[in-house]
Chain A
Amino acid sequence: MSDLAAVSSYWLLFAKGLGTTIWISWLALLIGSVVGGILAHLRLVPARPVRAVVVGYVELFRSIPPLMLFFGSYYGVSYALGLNLSPFVAATVALSLHASSMMSEVIRGGLQSVDSGQWAAGRASGMTNLQILSLVVWPQSFRVALPPAVGVYIATLKDTAVASVIGYVELTRSGLIVRENTGSSFLVFVIIAAMYFVVCYAISQLGAYWERRFRIVGHK
């Protein structure tokens, strides 16, 4: 019981840690979506070399464990370029690299779900490619890409825990700090696990609601 009192006196650190976790996960999602979106559209380009570079990027960063990306962007860059990135910048870079490769696949799936007849119909109506994209393709692909995009966000949020190994003080690092100060390991990690669970579960429920709401009749 004294354990609980000791650990709960650190509630502010837990709360700050959770805030930091959510903030950096959003930042990584935002950068990942923009970069991933650009990559997904580049895969529609007819030029083969362009598509090959995009496929290479996506396959590369999907195949490297997030922990290695954290190590690489934190230690690798500092050893190689003598450039000392802060844990925050290194973590954002690592998370964004991984998230952008996953997001690119999600957005590509959305774009490809739009039948080629829609493109043909757009051209036949005298629309430019940009008009077809923004008025015909995007609104339809959005509904397909949204549920898996929520999955990518949850994966990214869980990956932020790994940022603790390069010393970025988010929720997991806060837990390690409280553990050192109170010596109460089991309780601390149960609390941290519960906090991650509540956030991720709430987001997944929101995603499930959107999936029902935006379901396309006859799709899947």
Chain B
Amino acid sequence: MYEFNLAALKGYIAALPPALAATVWLSLLAIVCSLALGIVLALMRTNTNRLLRIVGGTYVEVLRNVPLLIIIYLFFFGLPAVGLRLSGWQTSFLALTFASAAYMAEIVRGGLAGVGPGQYEAARSQGMGAFQLYGYVVLPQVIRIAYAPFGNMCVAIVLGSSLASVVGVEEVTTWMHSAGSGSFRYLEAFTVAALAYVVLAQAINGLRIATGRWLLRHRNPGAPL
């Protein structure tokens, strides 16, 4: 019978905090940058200029329908062939950002679509400028619609960051694989790493739920969203 023995991982535990930090740092950067790129893409897709709409739409459709791993391989193995050599970390950061931006664009676009034309007209008829219109009227409503899918996307980015281990980034999945095969205690290493991801994901979920409560704090209970 297999004996579950966490103590066998003792020699590897010191490498876990930096690995965890690498996962968090890579995910955080990708979340911030993909959101920024996603906002630009969403504004392109809702623009009156047809060319911008086509470029934005094509970007979103292509990046949503290609596996992240393929984008990582394309950057890591493919780009050196055309003269651009990226490190494993740069590769995973860029691939994660570009792929996630397509989803972020859809989330932002969904938020913008929830603000009806009447809102813009009403704001303008009150004499609001562009800054007031977006700052006080549009953005608060977009955030209320988009915060929940944004939270889910953040979890997806953390999970996606595990693919960085394929190109040699020392993050949690890499730690699991080297600790597991080094100590011959793979199941224990798996359990520890899984726990790390579950804690991260549930922390994001908790933040998302708390944000939702705070955003909707003035709403009557039972009122339609």
Contact = CB atoms under 8 A, between A and B. Distances in A.
Interface of A: 59-60, 62-68, 71-72, 75-76, 78-81, 154, 158-162, 164-165, 172, 175-176, 179, 184-186, 188-190, 192-193, 196-197, 200-201, 204
Interface in B50-88: 61-62, 64-71, 73-74, 77-82
A79 B78 CA distance: 35
Given A65-B159, A80-B186, A175-B73, A193 B66 contact: yes
B19 to A, nearest CB: 13
Given A67-B163, A68-B176, 12 more contacts: A65-B173, A75-B180, A78-B186, A79-B184, A158-B68, A159-B67, A176-B73, A185-B80, A185-B81, A186-B77, A186-B81, A200-B66
A63 B201 CA distance: 6
Nearest to B159: A65
6 contacts: A62-B155, A72-B186, A172-B69, A189-B73, A189-B74, A192-B73
B77 A161 contact: no
A186 B166 contact: no
Contacts of B166: 67, 165
Given A162-B163, A200-B66, A185 B77 contact: yes
Interface string B145-184: 0000000000100111111011000000100110011001
B17 to A, nearest CB: 18
Contacts of A164: 69
Interface stretch (B39-47, B124-132, B192-200, B209-217): B192-200
Q: How large is the interface on B (under 10, 10 to 19, 20 to 34, 35 or more residues)?
A: 35 or more
Interface in B62-120: 62, 64-71, 73-74, 77-82
A62 B186 contact: no
A154 B79 CA distance: 26
B198 A79 contact: no
B69 A186 contact: no
Contacts of A71: 173, 176-177, 180, 190
B77 A80 contact: no
A80 to B, nearest CB: 4
Contact of B78 (A65, A78, A162, A190): A190
Q: Is the interface of B mostly helix, strand, loop or mixed?
A: helix
Contacts of A179: 77
The 8 closest A-B CB pairs, nearest first, are: A65-B162, A63-B201, A200-B65, A186-B78, A161-B67, A79-B186, A185-B77, A158-B67
Nearest to B166: A165
A161 B65 contact: no
A172 B73 contact: yes
A154 B71 CA distance: 16
Contacts of B162: 65-68
A81 B2 CA distance: 7
Nearest to A21: B67
Contacts of A78: 186
Contact of B193 (A68, A75, A162, A192): A68
A68 B173 contact: yes
A193 B180 CA distance: 32
B21 to A, nearest CB: 17
Contacts of A188: 78
B78 A161 contact: no
B54 to A, nearest CB: 15
A62 B152 CA distance: 11
Contact of A193 (B70, B155, B184): B70
A196 B65 contact: yes
Contacts of A162: 67, 69, 163
A72 B176 CA distance: 9
A65 B61 contact: no
Contacts of A197: 62, 65-66
A5 to B, nearest CB: 17
B144 interface: no
Residue from B161, B177, B181, B194 whose CB has the most chain A CB atoms within 10 Å: B194
